[in-house]
Structure 1
Amino acid sequence: MKKIFVGAEFKALILLALPILCTQLLQVGMGTTDIAITGHFDALVQSGVAMGVFVWNPILLFASGTLMAVTILTAHQFGAKRVKRIPTIFHGGVSVALVFSVIAISIMWQSEYILRFFEVQDDVIPLSVNYLRALSVGVPAIFLFNTLRCVCEGVARPLPVTIVTFVGFVVNGVMNYFLVYGYEPIGLKSYGVIGSGLGTAFAMWSMLACMLMFYRVEPRLKTLNLFRYRARIFKQVKGLLQIGVPNGASIFAEVALFSVSGLILGRFGEIVINSHQIALNITSLTFMVPLSTSFALIALIGQRMGRKDFEGAMRIAKMGRLTCFGIMICTGIYLFALKSYLPMVFSDDPEILKLSAHLLIFSIIFQLPDGLQIAAAGCLRGMKDTKAPMVIGITSYWLVALPIGYYLAVIKNMQAEGVWIGLIIGLTCSAILSNLRLQWQFKRMKRMYGLT
């Protein structure tokens, strides 16, 4: 049996994954901060923000997933020592980001139709729409930031992104607090749900500004000369979309499943809405660990594929999969031990706290399949195999998880419990199919390149 864990490669995986993890925790922490601040301000306002987040997250992550093609292509070119081609990839990414910004803003301003389609409580809808319209101010900034971030991670320089995201996290917390609650000494009035959206939008622009500064001073990033014009951008856009859209669609399929599940629960009132959102926020924070490992795998495997080290790519894929499996065992134990205490960060309502703790039990069950599917997906993306994860995601989440979740939640009136059972079944299907696809890729590579 060949050795899977090679010290230098495991060290490289951890050193790359840790800054990405900090970045992911800080980004998710921004949404968590919005929920926590509004939760202690007013339960109805918290519901409005929660429903707004359910609409915003699929939009953000579809765009981010598509732009991840920048990471994949950058890693391949960087591994092959063709650094001069990276600026063209970046400019193509910027073009895609700007088009997506227009589409995203349009959806956010017309979000009332989405909320009414899912029969969200009438008094929650205007709050959610106002939150999304205020948040839309920051959409171009966060999409352009993500394009710069993807280049950073593709050339194995994630630390600047972490530092910048930390700045955004602090700015978001401060701005949210003052704009939601107001500050009488300077005559700043309370803007409630609109203040929450504007605070996050302001943080997004601050992150973009800081990221641009890093590209002026960080040695490896500075040598890329990203801001020098490169020809054939439209040809590059086509290549980005061919890889990126299936990738974005697979991420969208998973994230939209969680969002649609939350929107389905919008008919059951603010206690169910808030409890579901709190449990989901807590679960999202623990999920950032395997997700960050998955992002690191994209870069490391992509670089080895670029330099035609196919055996090394397979070895890292196997190592990453085992690493994610171990991580999810640890996070499951952590959630079980603290399930009654973590929801207290978000609410003081005893009913909400009790239901949130109960829902966390379900999240513990899907920790293992969730870790295995995201690890396999990261390995496949690093190999430029993005269409298979898309098909697997749509099948597992929309043809399996969502119908089961809707049936149990609405038809059988199991409410939040029904939705979470559907999520467990869908994630398990995704884990099985993704890992079967990865094993197929291993066999294909061995056959094509004569590996043993």
Structure 2
Amino acid sequence: MTVRTARLSGEWRALLTLCGPLALVQLCQMAMTAISTAVLGHLGSVALAGGGLGAAIGAALVLVAQGVVAGLQPLAAQNAKAAERAQILVAALLVALACSVPVALALLNVSHVLALLGMPTAVAQAALDYCTACAWGAPFALCVASLRYFLVAVRRTRAVMAIAAGATLCNGVLSCMLAYGKWGSPVWGVRGVGIAWSLTWAAMLVALACYAVRVRLCPLAAVAQLPDAPGAVLERVRGVVRVGWPIAVGYASEIWLFLLFSTMVARFGTASLSAHQLALNLVNAGFMVPLALAQTATVRVAQHWGSGLRQHAARAAALTLGAGAAYAGLCGTLLVAFPDGVVRLFVERTDTRYVAVEQLANTLFALGALYIAFDALQAIAAGALRGMQKTRAPMLIVVCGYWGLGLPLAWALSRWITPAVVGIWTGIALAASCVAALMLWLLWRSEIFQQTRPRALGTRITR
């Protein structure tokens, strides 16, 4: 086996070791949302509408705040000293607690926003019940994100996967118990599902903290013993926020853009909205693996970049991009080849709108397959850039690409293409292709690829 082949083999093993558990963690989080939705559905249509809306709002707020905390990942992956890593973790936990305050306040005051949107009183009350129960769980969720990102950065992904799987089971049991009054619990309905969400994150925090302490990955006592410990931690806080806030803005731009698209599609009729929701749910589910690959790229590039191994960083970025392209191709093939089977999983054939939904879904799935491919490439490229602590330029590309180009394009095409929902998804796919192209170009022009490319003959080397 040649040296090059051995290095490629080692990088592939590292990629699979990191990406596999991370993908399962993302799927477990989706399973928690699906379990909550199923429990709410058995409480009635009002509970499903209000609680589901509250769950969507809560998930969006927490995800954006997690983007700020994600700034610790490249910092922790680049620092090999245990004391420095502990400083970064303490800083990230402080940032998580600070971010949880506006998230909790927003959840407690969600009724004002729902009133402005003209929501029915019963639906607004159900949403408020859910969000109020989730508000006190926001600090737990964001601290869990800090510990999870930290453990991933030091390549302890199996423990994160096992705890996430246990939390999914715990969430299902607690949701049924508190919502329906099972096993001697009072019947709390929608509020019970929110309480189960908060309790699950609290349990995850305890489990992750106990694991990190047991394997001595968090020498917090060493932080206090370092000279000028408060000043060093404060500097780490600035570093986490500096790297993380552009990530949060990028998350927020995509989340709120798709919420806006959903409100636009709602005006086109029930069949269009149903097909749109089907395509959107499948896109979100399909994005879990590219999201795990993006985190893998961040960790591997950061580790090589911090060690000065730029060729290894370039190889890690290229391999994750290749894996993402292969996965996106597989997802797209399945969506295009078996659209009818997918629709039958979610819509009864006896439904009066089944034919209309099926016809629209066939087209939207093809556009969704294109979107998955482009969005996977841009997310993984952004993850690789994040490993070099480059987050502002990717943020500008995402915001300008989706809001500056995607929104006007989707609105214009919805007026020119019939059905209008097809025009919106065409605009989304075109915007994603532009974002992916710019992100790949930015990665190609970065230091890891510029330094690893051979110089042209006759080029004079200067110092």
TM-score (norm 2): 0.85
Residue matched to 1:330: 330
Deviation at 1:312, TM superposition (A): 0.8
1:240 aligns with 2:240: yes
- After the TM superposition, which residues 44-443 of structure 1 pair with which residues of structure 2 at under 5 Å, given as runs? 44-78=46-80, 82-116=81-115, 124-183=123-182, 186=184, 188-189=186-187, 191=189, 193-217=190-214, 219=215, 222-226=216-220, 229-230=223-224, 231=229, 232-265=232-265, 276-342=276-342, 350=351, 355=357, 357-358=361-362, 359-406=364-411, 416-442=421-447
Deviation at 1:103, TM superposition (A): 0.6
Deviation at 1:112, TM superposition (A): 3.3
Would the alpha carbon gap of residues 307 and 281 (structure 1) be closer, same or farther in structure 2, given more than 3 Å must change?
Answer: same
Would the alpha carbon gap of residues 188 and 122 (structure 1) be closer, same or farther in structure 2, given more than 3 Å must change?
Answer: closer
> Residue 22 of structure 2 contacts residue 157 of structure 2 at CA under 8 Å; is this kept in 1?
yes
CA distance in 1, matches of 2:404, 2:240: 28
> Residue 282 of structure 1 contacts residue 342 of structure 1 at CA under 8 Å; is this kept in 2?
no
Letter paired with 1:98: L
Deviation at 1:347, TM superposition (A): 6.6
Would the alpha carbon gap of residues 412 and 164 (structure 1) be closer, same or farther in structure 2, given more than 3 Å must change?
Answer: same
Would the alpha carbon gap of residues 85 and 52 (structure 1) be closer, same or farther in structure 2, given more than 3 Å must change?
Answer: same
Name which of structure 1's ranges 61-70 and 18-27 shifts more when overlaid on structure 2. Answer: 61-70
CA distance in 2, matches of 1:281, 1:417: 16
> Residue 50 of structure 2 contacts residue 126 of structure 2 at CA under 8 Å; is this kept in 1?
yes
Deviation at 1:115, TM superposition (A): 3.9
Residue matched to 2:15: 13
Letter paired with 1:35: T
CA distance in 2, matches of 1:272, 1:197: 30
Would the alpha carbon gap of residues 26 and 293 (structure 1) be closer, same or farther in structure 2, given more than 3 Å must change?
Answer: same
Matched position secondary structure for 2:219: coil
RMSD: 3.3
CA distance in 2, matches of 1:120, 1:451: 64
CA distance in 2, matches of 1:351, 1:162: 42
CA distance in 2, matches of 1:332, 1:261: 22
> Residue 268 of structure 2 contacts residue 421 of structure 2 at CA under 8 Å; is this kept in 1?
no
> Residue 58 of structure 1 contacts residue 255 of structure 1 at CA under 8 Å; is this kept in 2?
yes
Letter paired with 1:365: L
> Residue 19 of structure 2 contacts residue 296 of structure 2 at CA under 8 Å; is this kept in 1?
yes
Q: For the pair shown, which has the larger CA radius of gyration, 1 or 2?
A: 2
> Residue 76 of structure 1 contacts residue 305 of structure 1 at CA under 8 Å; is this kept in 2?
yes
Matched position secondary structure for 1:75: helix
Would the alpha carbon gap of residues 226 and 268 (structure 1) be closer, same or farther in structure 2, given more than 3 Å must change?
Answer: farther
CA distance in 1, matches of 2:95, 2:104: 14
Deviation at 1:164, TM superposition (A): 1.0
Name which of structure 1's ranges 196-205 and 287-296 shifts more when overlaid on structure 2. Answer: 196-205
CA distance in 2, matches of 1:352, 1:238: 53
CA distance in 1, matches of 2:326, 2:148: 27
Letter paired with 2:351: P
Deviation at 1:417, TM superposition (A): 4.2
Letter paired with 2:160: V
CA distance in 1, matches of 2:35, 2:347: 12
Letter paired with 2:210: M
Deviations for 1:169-192, whole angstroms, at most 9, x for unmatched residues? 111122223334443x7364361x
CA distance in 1, matches of 2:296, 2:161: 14
CA distance in 1, matches of 2:195, 2:428: 32
Identity %: 24
Would the alpha carbon gap of residues 268 and 38 (structure 1) be closer, same or farther in structure 2, given more than 3 Å must change?
Answer: farther
CA distance in 1, matches of 2:408, 2:97: 34
> Residue 409 of structure 1 contacts residue 418 of structure 1 at CA under 8 Å; is this kept in 2?
yes
Structure 2 residues without counterparts, runs of 5 or longer: 458-463
Would the alpha carbon gap of residues 386 and 436 (structure 1) be closer, same or farther in structure 2, given more than 3 Å must change?
Answer: same
Matched position secondary structure for 1:6: helix
Structure 1 residues without counterparts, runs of 5 or longer: none
Name which of structure 1's ranges 434-443 and 388-397 shifts more when overlaid on structure 2. Answer: 434-443
Deviation at 1:148, TM superposition (A): 0.5
Name which of structure 1's ranges 142-151 and 399-408 shifts more when overlaid on structure 2. Answer: 399-408
TM-score (norm 1): 0.87
Matched position secondary structure for 1:308: coil
CA distance in 2, matches of 1:136, 1:16: 31
